[in-house]
Amino acid sequence: MNKQDLTLLTDLYELTMMQGYYVKGQNEKVIFDVFFRANPCNNGYSICAGLEQVIDYIKNLNFTYEDVDYLRGLGIFSEDFLHYLSGFHFSGDIYAIPEGSVIFPKEPILKVIAPIMEAQLVETAILTILNHQCLIATKASRVVYAANGDGIMEFGLRRAQGPDAGLYGARAAIIGGCVGTSNVLAGQLFDVPVMGTHAHSWIMSFPDEYTAFKAYADLYPDNCTLLVDTYDTLKSGVPNAIRVFREFKESGRKFGKYGIRLDSGDLAYLSKQARKMLDEAGFTDATITASNDLDEYLLHDLKMQGAAINSWGVGTHLITSKDCPSFGGVYKLAAIQNSEGEFIPKIKISENTEKITNPGNKTIYRVYEKDSGKVKADLICFADETFDPSEDMLLFDPIETWKKTKMPGGSYTLREMMVPVFRNGECIYQSPSVKEIADYCRQEKDSLWEETKRLFYPHQIYVDLSPRLYEVKKNLLDQVNKA
Amino acid sequence: MNKQDLTLLTDLYELTMMQGYYVKGQNEKVIFDVFFRANPCNNGYSICAGLEQVIDYIKNLNFTYEDVDYLRGLGIFSEDFLHYLSGFHFSGDIYAIPEGSVIFPKEPILKVIAPIMEAQLVETAILTILNHQCLIATKASRVVYAANGDGIMEFGLRRAQGPDAGLYGARAAIIGGCVGTSNVLAGQLFDVPVMGTHAHSWIMSFPDEYTAFKAYADLYPDNCTLLVDTYDTLKSGVPNAIRVFREFKESGRKFGKYGIRLDSGDLAYLSKQARKMLDEAGFTDATITASNDLDEYLLHDLKMQGAAINSWGVGTHLITSKDCPSFGGVYKLAAIQNSEGEFIPKIKISENTEKITNPGNKTIYRVYEKDSGKVKADLICFADETFDPSEDMLLFDPIETWKKTKMPGGSYTLREMMVPVFRNGECIYQSPSVKEIADYCRQEKDSLWEETKRLFYPHQIYVDLSPRLYEVKKNLLDQVNKA
């Protein structure tokens, strides 16, 4: 992703609407929310990721001479407006939930407060960046959960949806809990561990499998994982690997990490047989790595069947989130500032009920159970609301309002989730390193109940509205229905 | 995608294998094939796309000082090898099937002939680029087919898997038959039509829907598509649109294109009702555009139900190929040159039969039925084989060899599909423009039978081996099984 070139990474209608506001002299401050409507893969939560790239995008927003010239050639923009664009920069405020945070549907994860022309322009790229990285971080978190402590290596670059998908997908995968990636560029740019073994072509370029293994062991004794399925896993690959391991040790040398990799066939059966052969030969500390179209479902089943696998390389299914390859983040107008400087809440109705938005200038409080430290609910409220955790709090479902939970005063703690990122166009937030984000993400997941982390039909965390927000929303809906 | 920065966009194991070849002094010429094993979405064919970006990648391959420094820091590469990398450039040959071509499983779509160290390095990025663009071009072709002549606009940027996926996905979508994209950067870089209307936020930023529509019509009379579902499609949106159309015409002005866009609710019902209302008001030439989670299946069904829709905006499902978000292109060693300069065919066996490769230095001939001009089969053969179309040709399935078809001499024509792209490291191929590729792709699809273009359970085109190639493969398999 060329930072300088993303200004035109936007939908045409953002620019035609901008010109519309420009012509009408209509540039009041507005608030747009980014939120999503459902967790991918029916997960119980999602992982926030991509903010650092959103920050880079906003910082580098600027229409070059070539950009303006291209837009002029479309024949739909006035010279006045093009002149405005040539001096464009972002002057607004942005708030966001930090990367690595656990997030839930319907709550704002990023909020833009800016003159409408600016706020409109940035919609598309913000969504592109967040939707992608939140998706892959969440998928990675599921795969890591299924591995139950084994390391997951991100191996998907060749099946990613283009170079950026491989690069930022690897970043998001590390945030979601992967121990490393095969992607060298991701390693360079994000200072994360890079990992790998060798391919079938390595074996095939030697006269025979044994010679190929021996050459590899001589070269990489610190990390010697031999791919054993080029010809026949149990008849040829594993015996040749054992022969090389034995000769290596007999010659008095020592491996760092060593073992085999399975990349085809039935991984449960082959891993158990290979484990037996390795153990019988005395190589009980040899690791067995598996790859080949793995996802969290197969991984979960292989673990259930006692597959003797210690380490997993996950490619296509992780880097594309194959069974759910999009994250439905949207960007919706929530309020418009009037001439008195007050934000007037706005709502979008829809034939599809789940598309109705939450109005106003909002923030999120996470409600933790004090004793367990676990997440009880998220509360969406107006940004100026405050709550006293020594007092009782009533949580109720904003749709099924008869579903109520009373949190007694003193039994819960509160944490505001959104932090300021831009103020008056200046970035006031320092992104942590990817490793720091990944560490924080592990802590975040520790704040969830096991019931919410389950792969299948997890318990859904409540995301409730404050009573004041609920009333404002209800009144706006009634007004529209009356009209 | 920053052209200068893609050299490290590779899997770590490509570099560790390279160092292995370097240490062994093993740098003979080899041949690697890119091929895929199945069409996405159970389609009857795929569309080739991405070659221009592969060419850019190969041309710009070079390890900068920073790249070498980063690799040094990993502690696994010798100074000698790092020195070699700092002077690295690609010196080999590449052949490929041109972009926009119809392609079929198991046949090489790109072939690299180069010293093994070079050929190994480029595996990952070539696959990343081709897998992504072939996938989206093929998906677009399906959606376009379902629309049966209506225009498909690519609207998916915000749900793409990162900026590149949006950008190169838009490129591939145009190649596959879309009439335009909302992605302005794609418009700028690839000189393709950009399109769009306005968002709900436009409506919500005005005191009421009528005023918002009127403002838009005044601004964009040449292309005035009004989004009618912000409050209530049939009670509010369509009547307000009709009022604006009427007032506009009564004031003596004329629209270019004009109409409405539906973005929620039941598109069959709403479009038919809206059509009736527009027609009764005299606006029979107003178009109805639809969006909202469309794919080729829903589009096909809506057309079957007589939905009154003329134009379709397709987002998430197209830009991610949602029901099949990866294209399984692989890169496999096919031959190694011996000291006499002869290419010795190589084969990869696998526990999974469909993973067995085709050995040798190969090319592809497309076999057309002379009378109809339609594709009969593809023939994979050695690059030095020639065929005389005045003679009979026997086609047989390489797995189910009893399935045979005899093409009488004179009844068919042949076309070699692969063209030279690089020779001795120099690019000797000029990529056509995206528009030219899209035109060529339309012709390519005209060479297919309707039975192969069908969305569901299409007829699969035969991809056969020449008798000589079949014999060599059979002998190699026998040798391995003997061993």
Q: Do A9 and B265 touch (CB under 8 A)?
A: no
Are B124 and A222 in contact (CB < 8 Å)?
no
* Chain A neighbors of B5, CB-CB under 8 A: 185
Beta carbons of A184 and B157 less than 8 Å apart: no
B350 touches chain A (CB under 8 A): yes
pLDDT at site B3? 44
The CATH number of domain A3-136+325-482, selected from 3.20.140.10, 3.40.190.10, 3.30.70.120, 3.90.870.40: 3.20.140.10
β pairing state of A93-96 and A102-103: unpaired
Q: Please name the amino acid found at residue B24.
A: K
Interchain pair B163, A205: CB under 8 A: no
Asked if the C-beta of B265 comes within 8 angstroms of chain A's C-beta atoms, the answer is: yes
- The reply to whether A197-292 shares the fold of A3-136+325-482 is no
Q: Which of B164, B195, B202, B240 to mutate to test the interface with A (most CBs of A within 10 A)?
A: B164
- Within 8 A of B135 by CB-CB distance, chain A residues are 161
CB-CB: which of B128, B216, B350 is closest to A157?
A: B128
Quick check: A98 and A366 in contact, CB under 8 A?
A: no
B6–A123 C-beta distance less than 8 A = no
Rounded to two decimals, the ipTM of the complex is 0.96
Other beta carbons within 10 angstroms of residue B403's beta carbon come to 12
Task: Inform me whether the C-beta atom of residue A219 falls under 8 Å from chain B C-beta atoms.
Answer: yes
Q: Which chain B residue has the Cα nearest residue A131?
A: B159
Q: By the CB < 8 Å criterion, does A215 face chain B?
A: yes
Q: Is A333 on the interface with B (CB under 8 A)?
A: yes
Using an 8 Å Cβ cutoff, are B337 and B29 in contact?
yes
**Percentage, residues of chain B above pLDDT 70:** 98
Range A251-272 burial, b when 16+ CB lie within 10 A, else e: eeeebeebbbbbbbbebbebbb
The residue of chain A with its CA nearest to that of B235 is A483
**Partner-chain contact B205 A67, CB within 8 Å:** no
pLDDT tens-digit profile of B163-207?
999 999 999 999 999 999 999 999 999 999 999 988 998 998 899
What's the half-sphere exposure (Cβ side, CA atoms, 13 Å) at A289?
24
Is B1 at the interface with chain A, CB within 8 A? yes
| pLDDT at B2 (0 to 100) | 47
| Mean pLDDT, residues B209-214 | 96
Mean local confidence (pLDDT), B339-360 = 83
Portion of chain A with pLDDT greater than 70, in percent = 98
Residue B13 contacts A where some CB pair is shorter than 8 Å: yes
Residue B339 has pLDDT above 50, yes or no: yes
Q: What is the pLDDT of residue A1?
A: 42
What are A371-380's pLDDT values in tens digits? 999 999 999 9
Which residue among A74, A76, A161 sits closest to B169, beta carbon to beta carbon? Answer: A161
- For B383-442, list the strands marked E by DSSP: 393-396, 404-407, 412-416, 419-423, 426-427
Provide mean pLDDT across the span A214-221: 95
Q: Which of B76, B188, B231 sits opposite A480 (nearest CB)?
A: B231
CATH number, domain B3-135+326-361+417-482, options 3.40.50.800, 3.30.70.270, 3.20.140.10, 3.30.365.10: 3.20.140.10
B64–A contact, CB cutoff 8 A:
no
The C-alpha angle with vertex A375 and arms to A374 and A377, in degrees rounded to 5, equals 155
**Alpha-carbon span B90 to B68, nearest angstrom:** 17
First-residue to last-residue Cα distance in chain B? 47
- Which chain B residues contact residue A231 at CB under 8 A? 349, 480, 483
> Which residues of A are less than 8 Å from B183 in CB distance?
9-12
> E-assigned strands of B338-446?
343-345, 362-369, 375-382, 393-396, 404-407, 412-416, 419-423, 426-427
- Measured CA to CA, the distance from residue A34 to residue A108 in angstroms comes to 5
Q: What residues of chain B, 399 to 458, have a C-beta less than 8 Å from chain A?
A: none
pLDDT value of position A482: 66
Question: Which of B12, B127, B167 lies nearest to residue A196, judging by beta carbons?
Answer: B12
pLDDT at A348: 79
What's the mean pLDDT in B376-383?
Answer: 95
* Domain covering A197-292 in this structure, CATH number: 3.20.20.70
* Inter-chain touch A162–B128, beta carbons under 8 Å: yes
Summarised one tens digit per residue, pLDDT across range A321-362 is: 999 999 999 999 999 999 999 999 988 776 667 778 889 999
Contacts of A312 (CB under 8 A, 6+ apart): A143, A147, A150, A151, A152, A153, A289, A290, A291, A294, A299
Mean pLDDT score, B27-41: 96
Taking the Cβ of residue A5 and every Cβ of chain B, the question of whether any pair is shorter than 8 Å is answered with yes
Residue B425's closest CA among B123, B128, B113? B113
In CATH, what is the architecture of B137-319? Alpha-Beta Barrel (3.20)
In chain A, residues 77-106 whose CB comes closer than 8 Å to chain B: none
User: Domain coordinates of chain A in residue numbers?
Assistant: 3-136+325-482, 197-292
In angstroms, what CA-CA distances link B20 with A464, B25, B76?
58, 9, 11
pLDDT tens figures, B114-168: 999 999 999 999 999 999 999 999 999 999 999 999 999 999 999 999 999 999 9
Give the three-state DSSP class for B258: strand
Candidate from A8, A158, A159 with C-beta closest to B184: A8
Cα distances (angstroms) measured from residue B13 to each of A194, A195, B183: 10, 8, 35
Strand partners, B333: B32
Interface of B with A in 117-146 (CB under 8 A): 120, 123-125, 127-129, 131-133, 135-136
| Residue A155 identity | F
User: Stretch A194-202: mean pLDDT, rounded?
Assistant: 91
CB-CB: which of B157, B194, B355 is closest to A264?
B355
Note the pLDDT of residue B479.
82
Average pLDDT, whole number, for chain A? 94
Helix axes A123-147, A296-304, angle to 10 degrees: 10
Measured between CB atoms, does A383 come within 8 Å of chain B?
no
Residue B124 to residue A158, Cβ atoms within 8 A: yes
Residue B201 at interface with chain A, using a CB cutoff of 8 Å: yes
- The nearest alpha carbon in chain A to B122 belongs to A158
What angle in degrees, to the nearest 10, is found between the helix axes of A12-23 and A79-86? 110
Nearest CA to CA, how far is A270 from chain B (Å)?
11
- Among B379, B354, B461, which Cα is nearest to B107's? B379
CB contact under 8 A, B17 and A198: yes
Contacts of A154 in chain B (CB under 8 A): none
Decide if pLDDT at B349 tops 80: no
- Identify the three-state secondary structure at position B393: strand
**CB B334 within 8 Å of CB B359:** yes
Question: What is the spatial distance between Cα A349 and Cα A341, in angstroms, rounded to a whole number?
Answer: 25
The count of CB pairs under 8 A between chains A and B is 325
Is B200's CB within 8 Å of A333's CB? yes
Six-digit token pair at A155?
A: 């191996």
Over residues A450-483, the pLDDT tens digits come to: 999 999 999 999 999 999 999 999 898 888 766 5
Instruction: Give the residue-averaged pLDDT of B367-389.
Output: 95
pLDDT at residue B253 greater than cutoff 80: yes
In chain A, whose CA is at the least distance from the CA of B129? A162
